[in-house]
Amino acid sequence: MAKKLVAVKEKCVGCRICELACSLYLEDVFNPRRARIKVESGYNALDLPHICFQCDDAPCASSCPENAIVREDETGIWKVSKEKCIGCGDCLDVCPYDAIFISPSDNIAIKCELCEGLPCKEYCPNEALLLEG
């Protein structure tokens, strides 16, 4: 089974440290819109991290008109090809978990590709992110 990050929404405190750590480690800046994880907050103190679960049957990949989202054989991780992605946003429309985003810096799709070190998980102050598989 492919590894994946999962979020425990009851433990998420809504601080966005995961977003900041992700953008710092992967993009060298602080910018939640360039992070591969996004926390949604709402009424009754809902805090829900959205992150890619590396689905076996991935609608983002099947909807992509450029075949830019491809699964890596050995790890099972879905990766976006920067060269192929045209930033059309079709994948955002079909992802059932709202876990793929368009980066404002270069207008292409970004998603969690399980980077080394997982800074989102490392810096989470309440152990709300778990690595499974």
Partner 1 sequence: MQGGYTGKYLDIDLQNGTVKVLPLDKEMTVKYVGGGGFNAKILWDQLPAEVDPLAPENILIISTGPMTGTLAPTGNSWYVGFKSPATGIYGEGRGGGYWGPELKFAGYDYLILRGRSPKPVYLYIENDKVELLPADDLWGLDFFKTVDQLEEKHKGARVLGIGPAGENLVRFACIMSDRYRAGGRGGAGAVMGSKQLKAIAVCGTSDVRVADKEGFIEALRDANKTLMAHPATATLLPDFGTASLVNGMSAFGAFPTRNFRSGVFEGAEKISGETMAETILVKTRGCYSCNIKCTRYTMVKEGNYAGVESEGPEYETVNAFGSRCGVDNLEAIAMANMNANRYGLDTISTGTLISFAMELYEEGILSKEECNGLELTFGNHEAMNQLLEDIAMRKGLGDILAEGVKRAAARIGRQADKYAMHVKGLELTATEPRAAQDSGLGHSVASRGGDHLRPWSPAYTLFNFGSEELGLGGTPDPIVPDDKANVVVQMQRVSTFTDMNGTCKFIVLCNTISPSQLARLHTTITGIPFTSEDVMQSAARVWNLQRALNNLKFGVTSSDDTLPQRLLNEPAPEGPAKGKVVELDKMKREYYQLEGWDDNGVPRRERLMELGLDFVAAELGK
Residues that bind partner 1 (CB under 8 A): 13-17, 20-21, 24, 27-34, 44-45, 47, 104-105, 123, 125-126
| Local structure of 108: helix, strand or coil | coil
Q: Which is nearer to partner 1, 53 or 101 (CB)?
A: 101
Least separation in angstroms between CB 61 and partner 1: 26
C-beta atoms surrounding 81 within 10 Å: 14
- b/e burial code for range 55-70 (CB count within 10 A of at least 16 → b): beebbbbeebeeebbe
Least separation in angstroms between CB 101 and partner 1: 11
In 3D, which of 133, 130, 132 has the Cα closest to residue 7?
Answer: 130
Q: Which is nearer to partner 1, 15 or 92 (CB)?
A: 15
Least separation in angstroms between CB 50 and partner 1: 14
Least separation in angstroms between CB 91 and partner 1: 19
Please identify which residue in the block is written with the tokens 């099972």: 76
Q: Which is nearer to partner 1, 16 or 111 (CB)?
A: 16
Q: Which is nearer to partner 1, 34 or 111 (CB)?
A: 34
Query: How far is the C-alpha of 95 from the C-alpha of 86, rounded, in Å?
Result: 17
